[in-house]
Amino acid sequence: MTLKHETHCAACGAKLITKTHPTDGEIPYCPACGDFRFPGFNTAVSMIVFNADKTRILLLNQYGKDGILVAGYVGRGDNLEDTVRREVMEETGLAVKEIIFNTSRYYEGSNTLMCNFACVTEADEFHIAKDEVDSARWVPVQRVLDDMRPHSLAKWFTGEYLKKTGRL
Helix (H, G, I), strand (E, B) or coil at 16: coil
**Structure confidence by residue, pLDDT tens digits, 6-31:** 789 989 999 999 999 999 999 999 99
pLDDT range class, residue 44, cuts 50, 70, 90: very high
Domains in the chain, start-ordered, CATH in brackets? Answer: 1-39 (no CATH), 42-164 (3.90.79.10)
Q: How far apart are CA 145 and CA 139, in angstroms?
A: 9
Judge if pTM exceeds 0.75. Answer: yes
* Whether 104 contacts 115, CB under 8 Å: yes
